[in-house]
C-alpha cells in the first residue's frame, strides 16, 4: 500500500470515531507524527516531533494551532524527519524571562545519501513578546563543514578538498488580530540574508618520472548573497479551520570562479524566484488528548529559468497532555 493510500485510509478510519465533546484541557506535553505528500519532485516526508512546555498551555477559546504561540513560556523540543534520501534531526529550546524577552538555541543535523558529509547547523535566537498577540524574533544560523583526502594510485598521487560554509540571519514578526465574527487573522512577516560559500579543489600529480608533474589542478568556488522576503497570512474561520495565503521572494547574487592548469574563469550572476501559495488547514480535536490535523497547500514558483506549481497534502496525529 502506498503512503498516499495509507493516509486516505487513516482519514476514513478517523471519521468513524464516535463524536463527543472533547475537553480543551491544559497541557505540558505535545507529541505529533505526520506525513506530507507532494505532487512535485520531492519524495513524501514523514515527520515526528515532541515539545515540552514548562508553563501549562491553555488551548480553550483560541485557535488550536496557535495555542503554543499564545503560551509565551519556556520550551524544549526534539524533531525527526525523513524522506527516501535524507534524514533530519533537531533539538532546540527557548527560555522566556519574566520581562518577556526570550533566548533560544538549537542544533540540526541533516544526513543525505549523496552528500559528501553530514551537515550540522547551529542556531541561536533572541526576541521579545510585545503583547499577548505579538512576537519579534531574530535568528542566526551557521554551518561549517570541510573534508580533505589524499592518496596514490599507480603512478598518480591525488589530493582533494571540499568545504561548505553558510551563515544566515532572519528577522521575524508574528501578530494575531482577533475578530468578532471569526477567530482572527495570524500574520507573519520575515526578512532574511544568507551567505553560502562552496569550495572544491582537486589536484592530480604524476610521479613516475624524474620530476613530479601536475596533470590536474582544479579549483571551483561559489559564493552567494541571498536576500529573502516572506509574508504569511492565515484567517482562522473558527478555532479549528483556517485558510491562508503566502508570498515568498528570493534574490540571489552569485559569484563563481573555476580554474585548471590551462584555463581560468570568473563570472557573476543575479536572479530571483517568487513563490505564492494558498492553503487550508483543519485541526480536529476529537478527544481530550488526541487530535487529527489535515492540510492542503498549493504553491506556484516563478523563477528566471523555471516556473512550476506544486500541491502538498498533509495529515498528522497530535497528542496533548
Which pLDDT belongs to residue 44?
85
- Phi, psi angles (nearest 5°) of residue 8: -65, -45
Strand 134-153 versus strand 27-38 pairing type? unpaired
Which pLDDT belongs to residue 16?
47
Which pLDDT belongs to residue 306?
66
Q: What is the DSSP string of 256-271?
A: EEEE-SS-EEEEEEEE
Tell me how far apart the alpha carbons of residues 102 and 11 are, in angstroms, rounded to a whole number: 38
HSE (CB half, 13 Å, CA atoms) of 203? Answer: 11
Which pLDDT belongs to residue 302?
83
Helical H segments across 54-203, by residue range: 67-71
Tell me how far apart the alpha carbons of residues 291 and 50 are, in angstroms, rounded to a whole number: 15
Q: pLDDT digit of tens for each residue in the chain (321 aa)?
A: 444 444 444 444 444 444 556 899 999 999 999 999 988 666 689 999 999 999 999 999 999 999 999 999 999 999 999 998 899 999 999 999 999 999 999 999 999 887 767 889 999 999 999 999 999 999 999 999 888 889 888 888 999 999 999 999 999 999 999 999 999 999 999 999 999 999 999 999 988 877 888 888 999 999 999 999 999 999 999 999 999 999 999 999 999 999 998 889 999 999 999 999 999 999 999 999 999 999 999 999 886 666 788 999 999 999 999
Q: What pLDDT, in 10s, does the model give residues 217-256?
A: 999 999 999 999 999 999 999 999 999 999 999 999 999 9
Which pLDDT belongs to residue 303?
63
Helix (H) / strand (E) element for 186: namely strand 184-194
Tell me how far apart the alpha carbons of residues 86 and 109 are, in angstroms, rounded to a whole number: 10
Which pLDDT belongs to residue 5?
45
C-alpha cell at 144: 561549517
Which pLDDT belongs to residue 215?
85
Which pLDDT belongs to residue 11?
46
Helix (H) / strand (E) element for 70: namely helix 67-71
- Phi, psi angles (nearest 5°) of residue 76: -130, 145
Which pLDDT belongs to residue 112?
85
Which pLDDT belongs to residue 42?
63
Report the chain's terminal Cα–Cα distance, integer Å.
Answer: 32
Identify the three-state secondary structure at position 288. coil
Tell me how far apart the alpha carbons of residues 219 and 210 are, in angstroms, rounded to a whole number: 26
Which pLDDT belongs to residue 191?
98
**What pairs with residue 24 in β-bridges?**
none
Amino acid at each position: 500500500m502506498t503512503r498516499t493510500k495509507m493516509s486516505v485510509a487513516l482519514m476514513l478510519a478517523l471519521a468513524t470515531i464516535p463524536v463527543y465533546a472533547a475537553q480543551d484541557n491544559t497541557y505540558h506535553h505535545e507529541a505529533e507524527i505526520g506525513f506530507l505528500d507532494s505532487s512535485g519532485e520531492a519524495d513524501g516526508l514523514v515527520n515526528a516531533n515532541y515539545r515540552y512546555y514548562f508553563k501549562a498551555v491553555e488551548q480553550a477559546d483560541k485557535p488550536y494551532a496557535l495555542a503554543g504561540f499564545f503560551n509565551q513560556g519556556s520550551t524544549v523540543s526534539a524533531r525527526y524527519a525523513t524522506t527516501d534520501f535524507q534524514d533530519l534531526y533537531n533539538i532546540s529550546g527557548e527560555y522566556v524571562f519574566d520581562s518577556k524577552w526570550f533566548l533560544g538555541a538549537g542544533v540540526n543535523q541533516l544526513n543525505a545519501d549523496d552528500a559528501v558529509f553530514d551537515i550540522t547547523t547551529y542556531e541561536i535566537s533572541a526576541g521579545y513578546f510585545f503583547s499577548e498577540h505579538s512576537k519579534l524574533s531574530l535568528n542566526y544560523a551557521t554551518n561549517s563543514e570541510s573534508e580533505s583526502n589524499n592518496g596514490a594510485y599507480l603512478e598518480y598521487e591525488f589530493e582533494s578538498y571540499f568545504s561548505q560554509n553558510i551563515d544566515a540571519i532572519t528577522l521575524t514578526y508574528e501578530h494575531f488580530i482577533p475578530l468578532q465574527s471569526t477567530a482572527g487573522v495570524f500574520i507573519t512577516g520575515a526578512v532574511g540574508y544568507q551567505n553560502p560559500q562552496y569550495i572544491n579543489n582537486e589536484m592530480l600529480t604524476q610521479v613516475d618520472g624524474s620530476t613530479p608533474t601536475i596533470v590536474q589542478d582544479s579549483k571551483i568556488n561559489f559564493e552567494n548573497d541571498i536576500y529573502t522576503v516572506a509574508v504569511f497570512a492565515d484567517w482562522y474561520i473558527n478555532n479549528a479551520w483556517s485558510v491562508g495565503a503566502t508570498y515568498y521572494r528570493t534574490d540571489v547574487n552569485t559569484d563563481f570562479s573555476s580554474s585548471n592548469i590551462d584555463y581560468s574563469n570568473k563570472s557573476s550572476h543575479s536572479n530571483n524566484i517568487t513563490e505564492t501559495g494558498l492553503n487550508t488547514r483543519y485541526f480536529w480535536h476529537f478527544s481530550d488528548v488526541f487530535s487529527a490535523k489535515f492540510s492542503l497547500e498549493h504553491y506556484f514558483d516563478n523563477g528566471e529559468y523555471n516556473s512550476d506549481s506544486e500541491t502538498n497534502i498533509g495529515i498528522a496525529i497530535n497528542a496533548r497532555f
